[in-house]
Amino acid sequence: MNTLDIVKDLIGFDTTSRNSNLALIDYAQALLEKSGARCRRTYDEGNAKANLFATFGPDGDGGFVLSGHTDVVPVDGQDWSSNPFKPEVRGSKLFGRGACDMKGFVGTALALAPEIGKARLKKPIHFALSYDEEVGCAGVKGLLDDLKAQNLKPALAIIGEPTLMKIVGAHKGGAKLVTRCCGREHHSSGPEKGANAVMMAGEFVALLDKVWDELRADIDSRFDPPHSTVQATVIHGGTAVNILAKETEVTWEYRALPDRNPNAIIARIKHRAAAEILPKYQQRAPEAAFHTTLHAQYPGLVMDEDSAAIRLARELTGANQMEAVSWRG
């Protein structure tokens, strides 16, 4: 099993998060089972996407997990000089969507399956491949729930995110939230006779920026940036230039230092939006409101340089320095 060929095959599956990943999962499961792995799947609600958990060696607790996600971010509107789903080697580099994040790792691990399958393992080695990591780590929850239901307790996991081969022992926590700004439609010639949800959304985005400024005072220099962050990333709303918008949605996120309480950030924003923005709009339209929905949330990883996973990574790589990152691994 040639590592490069497997990675190329994986890139060839368009597993952008909006698409199914089942063809890739079928491919990976066939390779793993051919090498003797025992495989389990967990699916999303529509059975269009799946997590794959594979085990080599004895049953029971302990052992190591090699973990990676199968989805990739979109290529829409990007200036690729080649087809991102038809990988190309140029010089010493492989070009294709997901080559680093993270089909390179997944393919390398799969290429080792025959070797792992032949080993006389005293503890199990597991493979965990998940879906929808790029949209808030939404898929892996089903895999974790299944492990809990089966009472499977691996000792540690190595997640092969691209880190330039540095050992990352801490990352920020984060969440995807959507706030629906609800106003009242009216002709734009009489703005005080309605509540313009687009304007509400603008003030809400400004509030997010204020809260972010306040969070800058709480520093952990291991991270870049060294503080928690809050920002809006997508806005949808409005119907016409001469109509006050009835609804506007703001998609936003926080990325919080791992040993802080992220729910306090959400509570602060919701409280201040209600206290500082809503009264003006409710004077015009009593039904004006903010409704915030938590779509995905993942915890931060606190640095523990004495953890079994870090000790193993140090032993395997010879590294002495641990890194911290602002994205999830």
For Cα atoms 164, 229, 222, give the angle at the middle one, nearest 5 degrees: 45
114 and 1 Cβ atoms separated by less than 8 Å: yes
Structure tokens at 22: 């089942």
Q: How far is residue 105's CA from residue 92's CA, in Å, rounded to a whole number?
A: 17
By annotation, the residues acting in catalysis are 71, 133
Alpha-carbon gap, residue 12 to 110, rounded angstroms: 16
The owner of tokens 């984060």 is: 174
Give counts: helices (H), strands (E), the chain: 9, 13
HEC string of 106-168 equals HHHHHHCHHHHHHCCCCCCEEEEEECCCCCCCCCHHHHHHHHHHCCCCCCEEEECCCCCCCEE
| Helix H or strand E encompassing 271 | helix 262-272
Residue whose structure tokens are 């999962």: 25
Would you give the DSSP letter of residue 216? T
- DSSP states of 6-47 as a string? HHHHHHTS--BTTS--HHHHHHHHHHHHHTT-EEEEEE-TTS
Q: Are 257 and 300 in contact (CB under 8 A)?
A: yes
